[in-house]
Amino acid sequence: MSAPASHGTGSAYGPYAIGFLLAVILTALPFWAAMTGAASGGGLVTMVMGAAAVQIVVHLVCFLHLDGRSDRWTMMALVFTLFVLAILIGGSLWVMYHLNHNMMIPMEN
């Protein structure tokens, strides 16, 4: 198996190694916080979601090589994908919230 082509000076495996290390850290940190009880409740959810968002960026830059130098159509496809994901996730959360709210049994005094 041949090595990936280097697009500049330095090792061809450099971005992959950095991406791998960052991905491991961004996975292990929230796992550690949840398992040891270092964070709980809203703080833990915020930590997990924040680490997930940063990990998405790490994967896009280090593994997919999507950065500011990417061609116009690639960036437009990425923006469109993010837009569709925002609609999908936001709409799902909105529907689940309203289903939960509308299905609650009224409390009697």
The 10s digit of each residue's pLDDT in 30-79 is: 999 999 989 888 899 899 999 998 998 899 889 988 877 778 888 888 88
| Most confident residue range from 10-14, 18-22, 38-42, 64-68 | 18-22
The residue to which tokens 């290390």 are assigned: 21
Number of H helices, E strands in the chain: 3, 0
Q: Which of 35, 96, 86, 32 is nearest to 56 (CA)?
A: 86
Confidence check: pLDDT of 5 > 70: no
Average pLDDT, the chain: 84
> Is the full-model pTM beyond 0.85?
no
d(CA 78, CA 93): 22
Confidence check: pLDDT of 102 > 90: no
Dihedral sign (CA 96, 84, 67, 10)? positive
d(CA 4, CA 9): 13
